[in-house]
């Protein structure tokens, strides 16, 4: 195999803990009540189209896009709309959502529910993008950026490579891994659809070396697909970040504050590629996704195929309950995920996993003064100086934070993970990013 590729700058290698990598994807029962938040994507929330008391079917449009960077939301269940009200989300804030009381499981007729693989792509590029837009697809890796926006390069820019992200660099999570093993052909057809939409000839699937079975499986499968190659990568967090993955696979560097299209690349997650296949070939909008439920104390670490809107309590129950000494429930992976305040929150388009952490693991260490070891600078994959940026944002020196490129931070958390003084670097970086972002937006307005 030779020396494995990876990105050059920074990075860490946390304990992998992929406990659920051997658990096949299970279909979870439909919930009794589905909660569908209206803000499920990066950008503007969607506008509801249904009223209280309306009968809805699976796949019916519930809410339409509320702007350019926004998506449609389709009903994941069939039943009656109970209310459109503020529902609690993972952070404890209440945001608008649609609550549906489930009755039966009636699907709209357009959706092809058969399992057979459809390889023939009938639509042309424009029609594909339109289809992806109406199906409400977002980046399934967690950032939930509307997929169709990425497929429309700004004028003057053309894509050369499509990079499919099968890295799954977050510890614990295995949803993409299982998807590659079980739905490989579908992902590859989805990749071909994306290639057609973008009009690119080359696609690379990047997979980290801790998933040898997935690499082998995909390498076997790509032989019958033209233009797609599989690239094994050295395990390194945060390789799943767009910019890091581009550096690792095609050795190009995305300039500061620019998008990957600048260097002719478009990155999509394997989960997104699978959803693209379903949306284009089977007419199925984004109504379900694979979610990993895992943790060291969890009795049965699993991967579930669940409908959007299922309360995570149901997922935890399916994984044989909440372990007794659970300290934190985290939505997402341990590095970038956020602690949830309640188990009533629903699965949304961007939920890739639920991590139940033991009390001992979840406790933060006591912060001590910075010893200027510069470990954070060494591991930062964006080449920033986290100690300086966090201090600047703590003291409100947002001008310094801006000139030191705080907006380039990808919030991967490597700095905080590696800090021997346990300083909450990322907390302050996020705060600074918020403030600097607001300042920059204001400046643009004036």
Partner 1 sequence: MDNVIIIAVAALGGLGLIAAVILYFIAKKFKVYEDPKIDEVEEALPAANCGGCGFPGCRAFAEATTTSAKKNKNLEGLNCPVGGNDVMQTVGSILGLEVEAADPLIAVIRCNGTFKNTPAKVKYEGATSCAFAHALYGGEGGCQFGCLGLGDCVDACDFDAIHMDPETGLPVVNDKCTACGACVIACPRDIIELRKKGPKDKKIFVSCVNKEKGGPAKKNCAVACIGCGKCDKVCKFDAITINSFLAYIDFEKCTLCRKCVEVCPTEAIWEVNFKPRKPKPVVEKVIPKPVVEKTTVIEKVEASPAPDKETKE
User: Footprint of partner 1 on this chain (CB under 8 A)?
Assistant: 86, 91-94, 338-339, 341-342, 363-364, 394, 424, 427-428, 430-431, 434-435
Which one, 23 or 376, has the nearer CB to partner 1? 376
Which one, 182 or 427, has the nearer CB to partner 1? 427
Which one, 57 or 435, has the nearer CB to partner 1? 435
Least distance from partner 1 to the Cβ atom of residue 328, Å? 9
Least distance from partner 1 to the Cβ atom of residue 428, Å? 6
Which one, 273 or 429, has the nearer CB to partner 1? 429
Which one, 223 or 364, has the nearer CB to partner 1? 364
Least distance from partner 1 to the Cβ atom of residue 351, Å? 17
Least distance from partner 1 to the Cβ atom of residue 422, Å? 11
Which one, 11 or 334, has the nearer CB to partner 1? 334
Show the tokens assigned to 388.
Answer: 């300086």
Give how far the C-alpha of residue 350 lies from the chain's centroid of Cα atoms, to the nearest Å.
5
Q: CB burial class (10 A; 0-12, 13-18, 19+) of residue 116? A: exposed
Least distance from partner 1 to the Cβ atom of residue 374, Å? 21
Least distance from partner 1 to the Cβ atom of residue 244, Å? 25
Least distance from partner 1 to the Cβ atom of residue 433, Å? 10
- Position of tokens 């949304």? 348
Which one, 163 or 429, has the nearer CB to partner 1? 429
Least distance from partner 1 to the Cβ atom of residue 339, Å? 8
Which one, 86 or 199, has the nearer CB to partner 1? 86
Closest by CA position to 307, among listed 356, 344, 348: 348
What is the SS3 assignment for the chain? CCCCECCCCCCECCCCCCCCCCCCEEECCCCCEEEEECCCCCCCCCEECCCCCCEECECCEEEECCCCCCCCEECCCCEEEEEEEEEECCCCCEEEEEEEEECCCCECCCCCCCCCCCCCCCCCHHHHHHHHHHCCCECCCCCCCEHHHHCCCCCCCCCCEEEEEECCCCCCCCHHHHHHHHCHHHHHHHHHHHHHHHCCCEEEEEEECCCHHHHHHHHHHHCCCCCEEEEEECCCECCCCHHHHHHHHHCCCCCCCCCHHHHCEEEEEHHHHHHHHHHHHCCCCCCEEEEEEECCCCCCCEEEEEECCCEHHHHHHHCCCCCCCEEEEEECCCCCCEECCCCCCECCCCCCEEEEEEHHHHCCCCCCCCCCCCHHHHHCCCCCCHHHHHHHHHCCCHHHHHHCCHHHCCCCCHHHHHCCCCCCHHHHHHHHHHHHHHHHHHHHHC
Which one, 299 or 338, has the nearer CB to partner 1? 338
Least distance from partner 1 to the Cβ atom of residue 330, Å? 13
Which one, 119 or 341, has the nearer CB to partner 1? 341
What is the rounded CA–CA span in Å between residue 410 and residue 11?
A: 12
Least distance from partner 1 to the Cβ atom of residue 426, Å? 9
What is the rounded CA–CA span in Å between residue 66 and residue 241?
A: 27
Phi, psi of 17 (to 5 degrees): 50, 40
Which one, 185 or 424, has the nearer CB to partner 1? 424
Least distance from partner 1 to the Cβ atom of residue 91, Å? 4
């Amino acid at each position: 195999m030779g020396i494995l590729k990876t990105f050059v700058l920074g990075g860490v290698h946390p304990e992998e803990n992929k406990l659920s990598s051997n658990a096949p994807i299970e279909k979870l029962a439909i919930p009794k009540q589905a909660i569908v938040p209206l803000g499920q994507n990066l950008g503007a929330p969607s506008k509801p189209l249904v009223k209280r008391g309306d009968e809805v079917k699976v796949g019916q449009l519930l809410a339409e896009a509320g702007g350019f960077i926004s998506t449609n939301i389709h009903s994941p269940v069939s039943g009656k709309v109970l209310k459109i009200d503020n529902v609690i989300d993972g952070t404890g804030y209440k945001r608008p959502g649609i609550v549906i009381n489930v009755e039966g499981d009636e699907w709209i007729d357009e959706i092809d529910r058969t399992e057979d693989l459809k390889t023939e792509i009938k639509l042309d590029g424009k029609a594909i993008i339109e289809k992806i837009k109406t199906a409400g697809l977002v980046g399934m890796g967690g950032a939930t950026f509307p997929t169709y926006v990425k497929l429309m390069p700004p004028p003057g820019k053309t894509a050369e490579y499509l990079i499919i992200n099968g890295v799954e660099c977050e510890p614990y999570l295995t949803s993409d891994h299982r998807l590659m093993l079980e739905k490989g052909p579908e992902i590859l057809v989805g990749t071909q659809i994306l290639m057609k939409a973008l009009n690119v000839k080359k696609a690379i699937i990047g997979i980290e070396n801790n998933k040898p079975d997935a690499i082998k499986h995909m390498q076997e499968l790509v032989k019958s697909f033209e233009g797609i190659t599989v690239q094994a990568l050295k395990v390194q967090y945060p390789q799943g970040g767009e910019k890091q993955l581009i550096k690792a696979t095609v050795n190009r560097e995305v300039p500061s504050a620019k998008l990957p299209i600048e260097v002719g690349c478009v990155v999509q997650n394997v989960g997104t590629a699978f959803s693209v296949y379903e949306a284009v070939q089977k007419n199925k909008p984004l109504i379900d996704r694979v979610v990993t439920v895992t943790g060291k104390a969890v009795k049965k670490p699993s991967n579930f195929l669940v409908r959007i809107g299922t309360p995570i309590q149901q997922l935890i129950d399916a994984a044989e309950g909440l372990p007794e000494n659970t300290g934190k429930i985290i939505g997402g992976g341990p590095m970038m995920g956020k602690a949830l305040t309640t188990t009533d929150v629903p699965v949304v388009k961007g939920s890739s996993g639920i991590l139940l952490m033991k009390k001992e693991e979840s406790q933060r260490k006591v912060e001590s003064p910075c010893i200027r070891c510069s470990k954070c600078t060494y591991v930062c994959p964006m080449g920033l100086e986290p100690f300086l940026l966090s201090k600047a944002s703590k003291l409100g020196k947002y001008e310094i934070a801006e000139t030191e490129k705080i907006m380039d931070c990808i919030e991967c958390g490597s700095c905080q993970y590696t800090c021997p003084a346990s300083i909450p670097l990322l907390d302050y970086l996020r705060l600074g990013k918020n403030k600097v972002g607001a300042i920059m937006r204001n400046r643009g307005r004036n």
